[in-house]
Amino acid sequence: MNSVQSHPSAALLGVANQPPLTWELPQPKRPIALKVATLLDGKGGTLRDTVVVVSGDKIERIGGPVPQGAQVYDLDGMTVAPGLIDTHVHVTYHFSHDRFIDNRLVGQDEPVPDSVLFGVENGVRILEAGFTTVQSLGPGTAWDLPLREAWARNLVPGPRLLTSLQWFRYDQPGQTVQPEPELRAMVRDLKARGADAIKIFASTSVREGSRPTLTQAQLDVICGECNSQGLRSVVHAYTSAVKMAVQAGCTAIEHGTGGMTDEALALMAAKGTFFDPTVGVVTENYVANKDKYLGVGNYTAEAFAMMEKLIANPKPPEEFMRSLKVPGLKIVYGSDATAGAHGHNAEGLLYRIKFGGQHAMQALVSATSLAAESLNLGSEIGTIAPGMTADIVAMRGDYLADATALRRMAFVMKGGRVFKYQP
């Protein structure tokens, strides 16, 4: 990586000849001007040959002259877009000694400091890839919150983090769902602890049959309490659990395989339910790292045989193809990135475009303004416009002509601070 500037005290520390840092620690005091050849605003609009002026952590204006004394970044030959948003990651999942650490036991199967530092490493990889905001959907650790705050203060490079902390999950032998008052209390407790959203398993994993694990009444209680508490509810759902979660007024459906009937899709569009199909990353990553996952938890030989069969024919589920044609359906982008996939978060967008027929502009919108809307942050991030938070990335090449430009991130700004610049 190249750098814009080194730490101001580098000379005093006697390290002036060492490679400079790749981010600016202090908030820049002078305006920043980005000279842009092609700008995609995140809502489907395109601008050519313009200037984006950033003051503090906000976009001040688009167009006009370069302000006097501004720090200028020449992004010619690149496609400039809002910082990308991944609505579904597991930010602390990682490999250690070439084995997947099952973070349901994190803190028990490895020392806590090790787990924290692996989370920091994941954050660096994610930000370098152009994702300035991610939502981590469990199982949650005590250090999701300090990671969120450290990245917010830019103590270390990492994305803006939203977390569900723990999740509602009842798919293990001997587990029983609590009575209604306890379910409501659990939602309130997670809110008090700082959760940004509530993650709900309404069905088992696809590796365990995709069967529903909650009744309609139980989903109604959990999502109803989320709504009354002003919390978003994000639901892992397959087969019949999809329609149940939509009927319960839940905010977003993750995965959806086997349940995205025409009726369910129409109901989602009518209710404004967000859909995150999570295609193109998660299964491919498991298979690519089979030696590290095999034998851990439910990552069995049988499960891998099923996953290998799925990716042998790289084509999205027919349900996803149909969902693209449903008027008004809000399809957002989430990768379900786990160990091995952090930093490769954009591969799902490429998969959608190459194999699913999604237009490159539509895919970008799903990972910017629409994703921001799904996080209740649509007035702050996801769009390049005056007054918005200055989350801006630039990729080498013409993204609309060749979406693999997503793999060539050359500039990353989060909140007005430049973390990466490779001219």
Instruction: Dump pLDDT digits (tens) for 199-229.
Output: 999 998 777 767 899 999 999 999 999 999 9
Task: Give residue 121's pLDDT.
Answer: 96
Place of tokens 């295609």: 279
Q: What is the chain's percent helix, strand, coil content, to nearest 5? A: 30, 25, 45
Task: Give residue 285's pLDDT.
Answer: 97
Mean pLDDT of 284-304: 94
Q: Per-residue confidence at 171, pLDDT binned at 50, 70, 90?
A: confident
Beta strands in 164-276 (DSSP E): 167-168, 197-201, 232-237, 252-255, 274-276
Checking if the pLDDT of 123 tops 80, the result is yes
Which residues touch 374 (CB under 8 Å, ≥6 apart)?
87, 232, 251, 252, 274, 276, 330, 332
| Residue pair 284/307 in contact by the 8 Å Cβ criterion | no
Checking if the pLDDT of 22 tops 80, the result is no
Q: How far is CA 394 from CA 127, 131, 271, 323, 412, in A?
A: 13, 11, 35, 29, 7
| Peptide bond before residue 139 is cis, with ω within 30 degrees of 0 | yes
Task: Count other Cβ atoms within 10 Å, centred on residue 400.
Answer: 15
Which residues of the chain does CATH 2.30.40.10 include?
32-82+383-421
Which residues of the chain does CATH 3.20.20.140 include?
84-374
Task: Give residue 82's pLDDT.
Answer: 99
* Cα–Cα distance measured from residue 163 to residue 136, given in angstroms and rounded to the nearest whole number: 5
Q: Per-residue confidence at 129, pLDDT binned at 50, 70, 90?
A: very high
* Cα–Cα distance measured from residue 156 to residue 179, given in angstroms and rounded to the nearest whole number: 42
| Residue pair 132/124 in contact by the 8 Å Cβ criterion | no
Class of domain 32-82+383-421: mainly beta
pLDDT above 70: percentage of residues in the chain: 91
Task: Give residue 21's pLDDT.
Answer: 47
Output phi, psi for 187, to 5 deg: -60, -45
320: closest CA among 281, 272, 356, 353? Answer: 356
247: closest CA among 279, 290, 281, 212? Answer: 212
Task: Give residue 28's pLDDT.
Answer: 60
| Residue pair 392/80 in contact by the 8 Å Cβ criterion | yes
Checking if the pLDDT of 108 tops 60, the result is no
Q: Per-residue confidence at 173, pLDDT binned at 50, 70, 90?
A: confident
* 117, amino acid identity: L
Checking if the pLDDT of 20 tops 60, the result is no
Checking if the pLDDT of 359 tops 80, the result is yes
| Residue pair 374/384 in contact by the 8 Å Cβ criterion | no
Class of domain 84-374: alpha beta
Checking if the pLDDT of 181 tops 70, the result is yes
* Cα–Cα distance measured from residue 391 to residue 130, given in angstroms and rounded to the nearest whole number: 9
- Give the H/E segment covering residue 131: strand 131-136
Q: Per-residue confidence at 26, pLDDT binned at 50, 70, 90?
A: low
The chain-wide mean pLDDT, for the chain, equals 90
* Cα–Cα distance measured from residue 411 to residue 4, given in angstroms and rounded to the nearest whole number: 10
Task: Give residue 309's pLDDT.
Answer: 92
